[in-house]
Structure 1
Amino acid sequence: MSAPRPAPVAQAPAARVVDAVKVYGGTARGAGTAVTALDGVSVDFPAGRFTAIMGPSGSGKSTLMHCAAGLDTLTSGSAFIGDTELGGLDDRRLTLLRRERIGFVFQAFNLVPTLTVAENISLPQDLAGRRGDRGDEQWTDALVDVVGLRDRLHHRPGELSGGQQQRVAVARALAGRPDVVFADEPTGNLDSRSGEEVLNLLGRAVRTMGRTVVMVTHDPVAAAHADDVVFLADGRLVGHLSDPTADGVLDRLKSLDRRGAPGRAEVPS
């Protein structure tokens, strides 16, 4: 049995949403079908912690992550990265914030196929105009060892396995030393062994590198790698679990499936 994790030190959240509402469809005159994906959600994502977001299909979990990360806008309510309220930023400032303070890992890897592994990893620094920064170069070099791809630096994504591509994506997400990394089903396209490697990398980023990770997943085994799990159902926050186990997460999900509201329109998960 593994040793219990130490109690977290209280810190300001790396990201949070307050009274978050997201409505898709409909018109100003009420015509058409409006679907509420988020219905008054307030949740903090603590700095230096690994948080998983879970819920039944259509619960709004991916919508929550996208709005918290500034990839989508809220209909009402607020989303913050640190103390910065995203709704108050114009497109240029929002793009800069995402580039400088947020890392992303997606299910489909989203690597640039014409770039090498090394070029994909350093892309955030290149876009930010920080090429040649000694501190960034040392950080990136250390990441290469963390993800175990030093012998693949000159390969292109098409020459790598899916697990190796996702490890490149994790390194790229961390390369800019972001305040928070958002991972959307990062193991969804991987076999169990490769998925375990990627989850261990995300956990290591939190516990040994001081990063913050927020991950959407449908997999209780993946969620058990997190420090905390928050549960959504019907666009609402309905539960929280600290120091989760796969069995504990699965039991909570089963209870949410049993209480699911019949007839609810499907929304993005």
Structure 2
Amino acid sequence: MNGTKERTGGARTVGLSKVYGTGDTAVRALDDVDLELVAGRFTAIMGPSGAGKSTLMHCVAGLDKPTAGRVFVGDVEIGTLSDKRLTRLRRERIGFVFQAFNLIPTLTALENITLPATLAGTRVDAAWLDTVVAAVGLRERLGHRPSELSGGQQQRVAVARALASRPQVIFADEPTGNLDSRSGEEVLMFLRTAVDELGQTVAMVTHDPVAAAYADEVVFLADGRIVDVMAAPTAAGVLDRMKNLEGTS
């Protein structure tokens, strides 16, 4: 698999701000955030409830429009794109994994993995698909429907679906939130493999210090700002930082 390793462009924000509402009721969810999601690395995003984690992810992924600042996916500034071109960029360059697996129950695992390409009227590269299927470790279950798979297997299918288009960035929003610890570990190890062996770029919002410890670095948000960055995180180290943030937020 290492022969397929390829670094694709990451994403970054410059002076990113997001304000909801106006006047006295305005809420500043993001406040002048400069963030770089380095290509070929696994970044976890953490912070207290209401820190702006999901808002940040939605703005970088083109699902929400910032109030100010710029967002780049690779070398493309997404704020300059028409709605049609932004939709195309999200489909071709961005992968999504959510807490709910969002699989189609009537489709097999393989059909779910290739669904985005089917909807776009394109073909998945056969060699790449084989690499992804090998990495996900579910080759014997590709003909099974979601109801015949465990929660961890369903979420690995969802990650494989995100990988199938060879996106520049995969955004994972609490991907282990609905899983027991063993299934969550399966998914996190697969995300780690996607980075290490497939050259993928992953950004994951999580509240779980154990999940964050799988990342290369953790970015901590509080009150819409980046307040800390931890390289080579450990679960204990992340937990300590989170306790400090929650104590001061």
Q: Please, which of 190, 200, 204 is the counterpart of residue 193 of structure 2? A: 204
SS class of match (1:208): helix
What percentage of aligned pairs have identical amino acids? 69
Contact 2:8 2:200 in 1 (8 A): no
Match of 2:242, SS state, is helix
Of 80, 87, 111, which residue of structure 2 is paired with 1:88?
A: 80
Q: CA deviation at 1:125?
A: 2.2
Provide Cα deviations, 1:142-199, integer angstroms capped at 9, x if missing partner. Answer: 2222112122212221222211110100100000011111100000000000000100
Say which of 154, 159, 170 aligns to 2:143.
154
Counterpart of 1:18 (choices 14, 18, 22) is 14
- The equivalent of 2:3 in structure 1 is none
Post-superposition offset of 1:138 = 1.8
Deviation at 1:126, TM superposition (A): 1.9
1:255 aligned residue: 244
Tell me the SS of whatever aligns to 2:10: strand
* 1:207-247, Cα deviation, whole Å (9 max, x unpaired): 11111000000000000000010000001110000000001
Cα drift, residue 12 of structure 1: 9.3
Residue 73 of structure 1: how far off its partner (Å): 0.8
Q: Which amino acid aligns with 1:20?
A: L
Query: Match of 1:264?
Result: none
| Structure (1 or 2) with the larger CA radius of gyration | 1
Cα deviation digits, residues 71-93 of structure 1 (max 9, x gap): 11101111110111111111110
Question: Which structure carries more helix by proportion?
Answer: 2
Gaps of 5+ in 1: 1-10, 261-269
Asked if the contact 1:13/1:44 (under 8 Å) is kept, the reply is no
Q: Is the 8 A contact 2:8 2:40 kept in 1?
A: no
Count of residues in Structure 1 that have an aligned counterpart in Structure 2: 243
* Length-normalised TM-score, structure 1: 0.87
Unaligned regions of 5+ residues in structure 2, if any? Answer: 1-6
Secondary structure, aligned partner of 2:198: coil
TM-score norm. by structure 2 comes to 0.94
Which structure 2 residues correspond to residues 53-202 of structure 1 after superposition, within 5 A?
Answer: 53-131=45-123, 136-202=125-191
CA distance in 2 between partners of 1:13 and 1:52 (Å): 17
Equivalent AA in structure 2 for residue 52 of structure 1:
A
Aligned letter for 1:17? Answer: T
